[in-house]
C-alpha cells in the first residue's frame, strides 16, 4: 500500500491484515518502487511527497509489471477517474471511502488479477511454495509456524536483498514496536535450526537477507 498519510495507512493496513492479507507499506514513490515487483496487488494514492501515484502506475506498466492496482485519491471527478484508469490503474476509489468497500474491491481485484508468476522457489534441496504455504527439505515437509513461514517467504522472494528489521516487524508482526525485535531474533534462530544455518544472513544493525547463493543446508 502506497500512502503517505500515516494514520490512514495504519487503519487500512490493520483492516487488510485482519482480512488475512500480508501488507507492505510505502509512503513515497521511491519506497514503492522497491516493493511493487514483490506484491500481488497494489493500493496507490495519487498524491505522494515525491511524485504522483499515477506516474508510478505508468512507470510500472511501462516496465511490464502486471500487478493489479487500486488507485486512491481525494479527486473524484469523471476526468480524474479516467486519468487513473488510463495511467494503468485497474480500479479507482475516491476519498473518503468506507474500509468495507476498499476490502471488497481488493477481493475483486484479487480474483481478476494475476498472481505472482513464481509461486515456488528452490534452493538446493529446499523447496518453498508460497501458495500452498509449505516448505520441504529433501522431500520432507518442514514444520514451520505461520509467522516463521511468513518470514521465510518474505526474505526468499527478495532475491538476496536486505530487508530492514523495521520492515520485517511491520510486515510479519503488523507493527514496528521494538518490543517485537527480540521475538524476531528468536524466530530467525528457530528457522535456521529447521532449514539450515546459512538460510538467513544477518546484516548487522540493518536487518536480514535470504542467502540465495547457496543451499541453505
pLDDT tens digits along 159-177: 788 888 888 887 787 766 6
Into how many domains does the chain fold? 2
Looking at the fold, whether 135 and 40 belong to one and the same domain comes out as: no
User: Residue 168 has what pLDDT?
Assistant: 84
Q: What is the CATH number of the domain that holds 160?
A: 1.10.10.10
User: Residue 118 has what pLDDT?
Assistant: 65
Domain end residue (candidates: 112, 139, 170): 112
Looking at the fold, whether 76 and 127 belong to one and the same domain comes out as: no
Looking at the fold, whether 83 and 154 belong to one and the same domain comes out as: no
What are the cell numbers at 141?
515437509
Quick one: average pLDDT of 62-77? 84
> Using an 8 Å Cβ cutoff, are 84 and 46 in contact?
yes
Range of lowest pLDDT (5-14, 19-28, 113-122, 146-155) = 113-122
> Using an 8 Å Cβ cutoff, are 81 and 35 in contact?
no
Domain end residue (candidates: 112, 130, 150): 112
User: Residue 116 has what pLDDT?
Assistant: 47
What distance in Å separates the CA atoms of residue 12 and residue 100, rounded to the nearest whole number? 10
Looking at the fold, whether 30 and 98 belong to one and the same domain comes out as: yes
Q: Is 216 within a domain?
A: no
Q: Is 1 within a domain?
A: no
Looking at the fold, whether 86 and 158 belong to one and the same domain comes out as: no
Continuous segment of H or E residues that includes residue 56: helix 53-62
Looking at the fold, whether 62 and 147 belong to one and the same domain comes out as: no
Looking at the fold, whether 142 and 203 belong to one and the same domain comes out as: yes
201-216 burial by CB neighbour count: b if 16+ within 10 A, else e?
eeeeeebbbbbbeeeb
Looking at the fold, whether 146 and 77 belong to one and the same domain comes out as: no
Nearest to 163 by CA among 152, 175, 174: 152
Continuous segment of H or E residues that includes residue 88: none
What are the cell numbers at 103?
476490502
Q: Is 182 within a domain?
A: yes
Region of 124 on the Ramachandran plot (φ > 0 left; ψ -120 to 50 alpha; else beta): left
Continuous segment of H or E residues that includes residue 173: none
Looking at the fold, whether 107 and 125 belong to one and the same domain comes out as: no
Looking at the fold, whether 83 and 152 belong to one and the same domain comes out as: no
As beta bridge partners, residue 48 has 51
Q: Is 134 within a domain?
A: yes
Where in the sequence is the domain holding 201, given as residue range(s)?
120-210
Q: Is 51 within a domain?
A: yes
Q: What is the CATH number of the domain that holds 90?
A: 3.40.50.2300
What distance in Å separates the CA atoms of residue 100 and residue 179, rounded to the nearest whole number? 31
Task: Label residue 28 by pLDDT band (50, 70, 90).
Answer: very high
Looking at the fold, whether 75 and 146 belong to one and the same domain comes out as: no
User: Residue 5 has what pLDDT?
Assistant: 92
Amino acid at each position: 500500500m502506497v500512502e503517505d498519510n500515516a494514520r490512514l495507512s495504519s487503519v487500512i493496513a490493520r483492516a487488510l491484515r485482519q482480512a488475512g492479507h500480508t501488507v507492505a507499506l510505502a509512503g513515497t514513490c521511491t519506497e514503492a518502487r522497491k516493493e511493487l515487483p514483490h506484491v500481488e496487488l497494489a493500493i496507490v494514492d495519487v498524491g505522494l511527497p515525491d511524485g504522483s501515484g499515477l506516474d508510478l502506475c505508468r512507470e510500472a506498466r511501462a516496465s511490464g509489471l502486471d500487478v493489479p492496482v487500486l488507485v486512491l485519491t481525494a479527486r473524484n471527478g469523471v476526468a480524474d477517474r479516467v486519468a487513473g484508469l488510463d495511467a494503468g490503474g485497474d480500479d479507482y476509489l475516491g476519498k473518503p471511502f468506507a474500509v468495507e468497500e476498499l476490502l471488497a474491491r481488493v477481493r475483486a481485484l484479487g480474483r481478476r488479477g494475476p498472481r505472482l508468476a513464481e509461486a515456488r522457489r528452490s534452493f538446493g534441496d529446499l523447496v518453498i511454495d508460497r501458495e500452498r504455504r509449505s516448505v520441504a527439505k529433501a522431500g520432507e515437509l518442514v514444520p514451520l509456524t505461520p509467522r516463521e513461514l511468513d518470514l521465510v517467504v518474505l526474505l526468499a522472494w527478495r532475491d538476496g536483498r536486505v530487508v530492514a528489521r523495521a520492515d520485517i516487524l511491520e510486515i510479519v508482526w503488523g507493527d514496528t514496536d521494538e518490543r517485537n525485535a527480540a521475538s524476531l531474533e528468536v524466530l530467525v534462530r528457530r528457522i535456521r535450526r529447521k532449514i539450515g544455518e546459512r538460510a538467513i544472513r544477518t546484516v548487522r544493525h540493518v536487518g536480514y537477507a535470504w542467502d540465495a547463493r547457496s543451499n541453505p543446508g
